[in-house]
């Protein structure tokens, strides 16, 4: 096995702390580290249900790739491929996230290096220093774990699994699987879940997860025809999110529901999405903020008395993301200076009039979102015909051109400030819109739309030190000053403030707030 010096992914300084977390089966550390057991040659998640090995038999690793580079095989019981990612705010982890999402399945290392602005030598050095594994080794680990996931959760043919996981051939897949795991792919097959139509996959998160709040937020903003929140279960008390999907020229649909007993989301997908499963799963994980570590975030935010009570009322609150950045940006522009309900209505008209039709087994899902090319090609008066001013229609086309130029592509070294400046260079996008897009679509956890009237009102209501009993909302300057203490998790603070306006309706459009306050809260 590699030594700590040749495998920096091995964790040694806090080994005793990791062992205590392992012994406690502490879900807060799921995905933060993996345990290699010397006596078995297997590596596990901290939540593995097997008997805890002796501390002297354990080694700890920051990633699954580091554990495999040290010669360990994945546990068949706790399944490391289910672990949520442990994303840090640094260049190495940002690069790793792109590789984990399949970036090297569509390009070679040289092209990938150029895309992120590094030489291939620099890329290799950054990843070796952080994880003890090369770009190719990281990609191979993710491909194998993803293939293992498909083997254990679906009935897909071996050929489909190999290509969906990013392998160039079934022969290469079989050989690498046997080499790394010392078993044939077929030996890990399990009976797939037969519920419903399509492919069923599970996505883990770190509990708690405020599902009702997140699904309520998405319900109030769902664009008719494109997406919806539906009720399921014998009593109709289980909410699920559904939408159409079009990615890399392949069309389909998906449904996301909650498995609270397992700390997982259940993802159901159209079979035709098999070739693009890896990028689709990456987008779903982003949309439902599955990589968040709520205990860590809440421990920071609850130090502020303004947020403490709402954190207790809504444990595990996430920042709902976006399946597609362009969609969210257009939705944000349509929501400028109008209510949530008004923006949803106008967005629905956009989808119905200009989106391509799609056949799905879901009655509520009939359309795709219009492509940037479609919006650019429309005459301004026709685009404005959905019920928006001509200037706003022009902004939609400006946003579409920005998207085609790669403006919403977040590279590993992209900073929040740079992305905000780039977005605000688009005519029609101001500070509030840029912050909102950065928060939900680009996943910057410190983005904060301080100009939002709802946030300003919520802060005034929650503050025990309001400047005046008659003060119905804070100024933007007051809110930004208070928000300094919430950094680097200001996006989560924003969600808590919005939730406080409507604790009885779980984010479904902030109906408890006045229409004036609903403006700018898309």
Longest pairwise C-alpha distance within the chain: 72
Query: What is the torsional sign of CA 6, 8, 12, 18?
Result: negative
Choosing from 30, 44, 78, 289, the catalytic residue is: 44
Indicate if 101 belongs to the active site: no
465 φ, ψ to 5°? Answer: -120, 40
Question: Please, what is the angle between helix 490-500 and helix 453-462, to 10°?
Answer: 80
3-class DSSP assignment, residue 433: helix
124 and 135 in contact (C-beta within 8 Å)?
A: yes
What residues pair up with 184 in beta bridges, in sequence order? none
Number of helices (H), then strands (E), in the chain: 23, 10
- Residue 73, both tokens: 């095989």
Nearest to 144 by CA among 33, 45, 203, 69: 69
Beta strand 10-11 with 34-37 is unpaired
List Cβ neighbours of 280 (8 Å cut-off, separation of 6 or more): 245, 247, 254, 269, 273
The DSSP code sequence of 275-339 is GGHHHHHHHHHHHTTTT--HHHHHHHHTTSHHHHHHHHHSTT------S-HHHHHHHHHHTTTS-
Choosing from 101, 289, 324, 452, the catalytic residue is: 452
Indicate if 48 belongs to the active site: no
Alpha-carbon gap, residue 459 to 163, rounded angstroms = 50
3-class DSSP assignment, residue 420: helix
Question: What residues are annotated to the active site?
Answer: 44, 452
């Amino acid at each position: 096995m590699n030594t700590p010096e040749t495998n920096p992914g091995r964790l040694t300084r806090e080994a005793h702390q990791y062992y205590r977390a392992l012994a406690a089966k502490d879900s807060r550390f799921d995905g933060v580290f993996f345990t290699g057991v010397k006596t078995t040659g297997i590596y596990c998640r901290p939540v593995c249900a097997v008997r805890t090995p002796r501390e002297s038999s354990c080694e700890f690793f920051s990633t699954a790739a580091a554990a495999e580079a040290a010669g360990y095989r994945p546990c068949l019981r706790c399944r490391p491929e289910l672990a949520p990612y442990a994303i840090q705010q640094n260049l190495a982890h940002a690069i790793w996230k792109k590789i984990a999402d399949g970036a090297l399945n569509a390009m070679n290392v040289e092209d990938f290096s150029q895309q992120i602005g590094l030489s291939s030598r620099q890329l290799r050095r950054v990843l070796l220093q952080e994880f003890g594994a090369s770009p190719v080794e990281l990609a191979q680990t993710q491909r194998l774990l993803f293939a293992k996931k498909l083997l254990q959760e679906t009935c897909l043919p071996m050929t489909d699994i190999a290509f969906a996981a990013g392998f160039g051939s079934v022969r290469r897949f079989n050989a690498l699987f046997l080499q790394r795991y010392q078993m044939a792919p077929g030996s890990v097959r399990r009976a797939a879940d037969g519920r419903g139509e399509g492919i069923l996959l599970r996505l883990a998160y770190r509990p708690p997860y405020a599902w009702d709040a997140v699904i309520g937020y998405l319900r109030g903003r769902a664009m008719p025809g494109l997406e919806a929140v539906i009720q399921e279960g014998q009593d109709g008390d289980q909410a699920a999110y559904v939408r159409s999907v079009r990615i890399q020229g392949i069309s389909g649909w998906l449904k996301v529901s909650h498995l609270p007993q397992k700390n997982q989301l259940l993802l159901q997908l159209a079979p035709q999405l098999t070739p693009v499963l890896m990028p689709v799963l990456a987008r779903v994980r982003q949309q439902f903020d599955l990589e968040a570590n709520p205990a860590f975030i809440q421990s920071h935010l609850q130090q502020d008395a303004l947020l403490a009570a709402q954190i207790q009322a809504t444990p595990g609150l996430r920042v709902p993301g976006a399946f597609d950045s362009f969609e969210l940006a257009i939705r944000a522009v349509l929501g400028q200076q109008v209510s949530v309900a008004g923006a949803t209505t106008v967005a629905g008209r956009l989808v119905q009039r200009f989106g391509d039709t799609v056949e799905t087994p879901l009655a509520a899902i009939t359309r795709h979102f219009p492509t940037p090319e479609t919006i650019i090609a429309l005459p301004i008066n026709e685009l404005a015909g959905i019920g928006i001013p001509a200037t706003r229609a022009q902004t939609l086309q400006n946003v579409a051109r920005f998207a085609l130029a790669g403006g919403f592509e977040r590279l590993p070294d992209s900073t929040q400030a740079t992305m905000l400046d780039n977005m605000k260079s688009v005519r029609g996008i101001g500070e509030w819109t840029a912050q909102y897009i950065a928060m939900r679509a680009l996943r910057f956890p410190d983005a904060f739309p301080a100009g939002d009237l709802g946030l300003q009102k919520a802060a005034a209501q929650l503050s025990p030190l309001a400047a005046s009993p008659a003060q119905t909302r804070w100024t933007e300057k007051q809110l930004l000053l208070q928000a300094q203490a919430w950094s680097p998790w200001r996006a989560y603070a924003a969600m808590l403030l919005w939730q406080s306006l409507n604790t009885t309706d779980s984010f479904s459009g902030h109906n408890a707030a006045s229409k004036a306050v609903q403006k700018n809260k898309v």
